[in-house]
Structure 1
Amino acid sequence: MNKKYNWAILGCGKIARKFSSDLKLLSNANLYATASRSLKKAQDFANEFGFEKAYGSYEEMLADPQIDAVYVATPHSFHHEHAILCLKNKKAVLCEKAFAINKKEAEEMVACAKENNTFLMEAFWTMFQPSFVKAMEVIRSGELGKLKLVRSDFAFNGEFNPDNRLYNVALGGGSLLDIGIYPVFAALTSLGKPELLKTLVDFSSTGSEETISMIFKYKDGEMANLTSSFASLSPTQTEYWFENGYMILNPRWFTPTNITVKKNGEDEQILHSGHEKGWGYQYEAAHVMECLDAGKIQSGRMSWQMSLDLMETLDRVRIDAGIFFPDHDKNLFF
């Protein structure tokens, strides 16, 4: 029988609420501890979801020897600091995306995991969705021929608030690292790192990037057309165009969804995800525990190299677009 793992939540925000709700669906996950900079917030969160303990500081929680795994759910500008804090306390880490602000920070996180022989994985939940797994199987099968183009978007019309993390440059604000990371992920997982890339970008009055369009080009002529925005509403789907057909991960493509497949000369087919309960965060948490059961310190599916490649590509996009975070990028870019 596999071990039951004591999970802790570092950062009690919106995404932590969804993750904690889904964690309850896993029989080998015990909702053990929460931590926030506000003890009351941590206690309220713990009471709502049934965690056993609540802490008013991250350091105090990480000193608890009963904790096995920590879900880092703070804004991505703090991921580097908080993941390393967990790893130095020998706690397995599932760190929300974006993994870090830049590749240098991500490399330091990976180095710390190696040094402490402790598990670390980026919480890119889409990688573990049944629908996304099916889509990757279709691509690898070659049944539609060679993949030629990926078109992916994620946009919503959000309320402008200069103090909100989405628009705050000090917190890594902008659509790219918050939601544009999803279309970039769609390109990397299907076509790999691009040979060339070009961007068009629109900045908000705070200096944060509000809308970005990216074109990736590959050595054999494949291309990706990717967009994210806080200023408009998009279908939020991913299309894969092949020599002999197409495949669509239908709206809110990064969540559990269905897939449309069209082969030249045949009718469209709908492939259903098989997802039944929850938001879909339970799949990544289950994978983390499978890795821990096997004694691994990194995932074979969402590997350190995948996260580093993703951060490297995001860095290249930001350099081309002129997106700069002074508190993190000093002496790195420009």
Structure 2
Amino acid sequence: MKKYNWAILGCGWIAEIFASDLKVLDNAVLYAAASRDISKAEKFAEKFGFQKAYGSYLEMLEDDKVDIVYIATPHTLHCEHTLLSLKHKKAVLCEKAFAINEKEVQLMINASKEYNTFLMEAFWTRLVPTFKKVLSIIESKKLGALKTVQSDFMFHSPYNEKSRLYNLDLGGGALLDIGIYPVFTALETLGEPKNIISNAIKSPTGSDEHIDIIFEYENDQKAYLRAGFKNDAPNYSIFHFEKGTVQISREMNCPIIIKTEGGIQELKEDDGPGYGYYFEASHVMECLDQGLIESPILTNEFSLRLIKTLDKIRAKVNVVYPNHD
């Protein structure tokens, strides 16, 4: 088994979750961590067992031993850091949202092709067994055609203009931070909508504190999507078929609940230990073993369709990111 040296670019809380899951994989070497603050990088490296700490992203990328870079900086920096990593011939797994808008995502995809170097959006939920089981149920047609998708992601986070969640300069707002999950769920299961309806509650900074989205499709198919920081919620995704419903939770290792005329059935898929992020890390290494520069499952074309959809939603609620739109 070939082992790969992983590097973390940006040592925030999402990077901590990813690093803890990376430890699960025998072929993943926790090699380097980089932050603009060297002391933060050193603390991160010590906490998770990385071999090296850098106080400069560029210095880390110039390290020839780095194989794969996981980018965990704010949304508005994803494009810049991805382009820099690809230029240094480092495989990239970049956190969602992939970038701020379609233009930036296209630049990233073009760079991946130019430098012949791997690039993938870090959409871990696509690769966990529970979601893959839902896709297999849809494909099997055992419950008939999929008619409606409901998907929520909400939690309470008090308003703070300095918080990343509310700061437009950092790509703040419910849509790109957590609304991307419900939008992804609808696109992956129903496809691209023919029409989008969206309304948002704005924070004082102008960010979307809460957003409601409806996707309308042919054949009367619809998706009802919600995301926000105003209140907590159960955060289920419910798939309505002609002959029943399928419900999944955003929590790991929760049962799939199937309701039909015959009653209620619970299916349990083993989503494994940790937070589920190791599935995407493992998949990246599988792709590199095969000499690929993009995932056949989480394609860059899908990420481009996703960001185009997010751009359309933002335009409808008039959320603008300074210096990016």
Whether contact under 8 Å (2:253, 2:272) holds in the other structure is: no
Does the Cα contact within 8 Å between 1:99 and 1:122 map onto a contact in 2? Answer: yes
Answering whether residue 263 of structure 2 is matched by residue 282 of structure 1, we say no
Partner of residue 259, structure 1: 256
Provide the secondary structure at the position in 1 that maps to 2:121: strand
Aligned to 1:190: 189
Unaligned runs of 5+ in 1: 330-334
Conserved 8 A contact 2:253-2:268: no
Which has the larger displacement, 274-283 or 195-204?
Answer: 274-283
Number of the residue aligned with 1:206: 205
**1:36 matches 2:35:** yes
Q: Which residue of 2 aligns with 1:230?
A: 229
Give me the whole-angstrom Cα distance separating, in 2, the residues matched to 1:218 and 1:286: 35
For the aligned residue pairs, the C-alpha RMSD in angstroms reads 0.9
Aligned counterparts of 2:258 and 2:199: Cα–Cα separation in 1: 31
* Length-normalised TM-score, structure 2: 0.98
Greater shift after overlay, 60-69 or 317-326?
A: 317-326
Distance in 2 separating the partners of 1:204 and 1:267? 43
- Judge conservation of contact 2:213–2:224 (CA < 8 Å) in 1: yes
Q: Which amino acid aligns with 2:240?
A: W
Does the CA-based 8 Å contact 2:93-2:120 persist in structure 1? yes
Q: 1:276: how far off?
A: 3.1
Distance in 2 (alpha carbons) for counterparts of 1:326 and 1:293: 40
Counting only pairs closer than 5 Å after superposition, residues 85-96 of structure 1 correspond to structure 2 as 85-96=84-95
8 Å Cα contact 1:256/1:280 also seen in 2: no
TM alignment of 1:76-225, pairs within 5 A:
76-225=75-224
Contact 1:248 1:261 in 2 (8 A): yes
What is the SS of the residue equivalent to 1:326?
coil
Q: Aligned with 2:286: secondary structure?
A: helix
The answer (yes or no) to whether the contact 2:198–2:211 under 8 Å persists in 1 is: yes
1:318 equivalenced with 2:317 (yes/no) = no
For the residues of structure 2 that align with 1:99 and 1:200, how far apart are their CA atoms?
23
Indicate which of 299, 303, 311 corresponds to 1:303.
299
Is the contact between residue 10 and residue 74 of structure 1 (CA under 8 Å) also seen in structure 2?
A: yes
Please report how far the alpha carbon of residue 13 of structure 1 lies from its aligned counterpart in structure 2 after TM superposition.
0.5
For 2:23, the equivalent position in structure 1 comes to 24
Give distance in 2, aligned partners of 1:273 and 1:73.
Answer: 28
SS at match of 1:177: helix
Is contact 1:22–1:279 with CA below 8 Å preserved after alignment? Answer: yes
Q: Which residue of 2 aligns with 1:9?
A: 8
State the 1:256 CA deviation.
4.3
Does the CA contact (< 8 Å) of 1:246 and 1:261 recur in 2? Answer: yes
Q: Per-residue displacement from partner, 1:107-135 (whole Å, max 9, x unpaired)?
A: 00000000000000000010111111111
Structure 2 equivalent of residue 332 of structure 1: none
The reply on whether 1:294 has 2:284 as its aligned counterpart is no
What's the TM-score once normalised by structure 1's chain length?
A: 0.96
The residue type paired with residue 297 of structure 1 is I
CA–CA distance in 2 between the matches of 1:140 and 1:55?
A: 46
Asked if 1 retains the 8 angstrom alpha-carbon contact of 2:6 and 2:28, the reply is yes
Question: Counterparts of 1:178 and 1:256 in 2: how far apart (Å)?
Answer: 23
User: After the TM superposition, which parts of structure 1 deviate over 3 Å for at least 4 consecutive aligned residues?
Assistant: none
8 Å contact 1:240–1:247 — kept in the other structure?
A: yes
Partner amino acid, structure 1, of 2:255: N
Q: In the TM superposition, what is the alpha-carbon distance from 1:275 to its structure 2 partner?
A: 2.3
Q: Percent identity?
A: 52
Deviation (angstroms), 1:324:
1.0
Q: Secondary structure at the match of 1:328?
A: coil
Q: Distance in 2 between matches of 1:293 and 1:131?
A: 25
Conserved 8 A contact 1:129-1:256: no
Contact residue 130 and residue 256 of structure 1 kept, 8 A: no
Give the count of matched residue pairs: 325
Shift of 1:258: 2.1
AA of the residue aligned to 1:131:
T
